[in-house]
Amino acid sequence: MIISDEIINSCLKQNRTAQKKVYETFYPVMLAIVRRYIRDEEEALDVVNQGFVKIFQKIDQYHFENSFEGWCKRIFINTSLDHLRSTKRYRDLFSFEAIMPSHQVFNDGENSLSVSELMKLIDTISPISKLVFNLFAIDGYSHKEISEELGISVGTSKWHLSSARKQIQAKLKLAYPEVSVLYG
């Protein structure tokens, strides 16, 4: 999705028509990003609204060097993380009681799982491992960036990614025995 420099410059001047164009263009994509992190629909909608407010408040920090969409995505991911950090549920996720046991790796050489089926399956793994998995595997954050964002060590981030992969593999083995898992 491309937003012209003219529209961005109009947003810098608080032009409501330009802001509406940005909102309408990016709303579906940004909602999908937020929903990867926040399961509750009302909370997700609140975070999306907070994200757009931040975009329009901080649009002067966009320097036209990288893609505007990428800049917006980063704001929405950070807004989602800020929301999660502000909840007691998030703090409880880092307790050892939340850590899932290891699962056996499965790999059968076949692959017939759709992206939507995989996303539904990812949604069922332990919340903190899902959060790290989304940040690393889907949004492209490094373990160092994840550790800084979540206030955990790089090793803990790596452990949660490994745990997420193992959980996904175990669930795939049970739900879709014909599907291979490429994490090895």
CATH of the domain at 23: 1.10.1740.10
Q: What value does the mean pLDDT take over residues 150-175?
A: 88
Q: What value does the mean pLDDT take over residues 160-170?
A: 89
Nearest partner of 51 among 36, 37, 30, 69, judged by Cα: 30
Residue 182 lies in a domain: no
pLDDT for 7: 94
Name residue 78's amino acid.
N
Question: CA gyration radius for the chain?
Answer: 18
Q: How far from 99 is each of 88, 115, 142, CA to CA, in Å?
A: 17, 26, 21
Place of tokens 């939340």: 98
Residues 116 and 73 in one domain: no
- For the chain, counts of helices (H) and of strands (E): 9, 0
Domain boundary among 71, 86, 101: 86
3-state secondary structure of 184: coil
Residues 15 and 69 in one domain: yes
Query: Could you tell me the CATH number of the domain that includes residue 155?
Result: 1.10.10.10
Number of domains in the chain: 2
Domain of 23? 5-86
pLDDT for 117: 75
d(CA 50, CA 44): 10
pLDDT for 9: 94
pLDDT for 97: 39
Confidence of residue 140 (pLDDT cuts 50, 70, 90): confident
* Top-confidence residue, 128 or 183: 128
Mean pLDDT of the chain: 81
Claim: this prediction has a pTM higher than 0.75: no
d(CA 23, CA 78): 18
Contact in structure between 136 and 161 (CB atoms under 8 Å)? yes
Structure tokens at 122: 């990812």
Residues 97 and 165 in one domain: yes
d(CA 49, CA 26): 12
pLDDT over 70 (residue 56) = yes
pLDDT for 32: 93
Residue 20 lies in a domain: yes
Residues 137 and 160 in one domain: yes
Domain boundary among 86, 116, 137: 86
pLDDT for 59: 95
Nearest partner of 76 among 107, 99, 53, 92, judged by Cα: 53
Residues 48 and 106 in one domain: no
Domain boundary among 86, 102, 137: 86
Residue 171 lies in a domain: yes
Residue 183 lies in a domain: no
Give residue-wise pLDDT tens across range 74-130.
999 999 988 988 876 655 554 433 443 333 333 344 445 566 777 788 888 888 888
Residue 180 lies in a domain: no
Residues 118 and 150 in one domain: yes
Confidence of residue 138 (pLDDT cuts 50, 70, 90): confident
Residues 13 and 26 in one domain: yes
Residues 80 and 109 in one domain: no
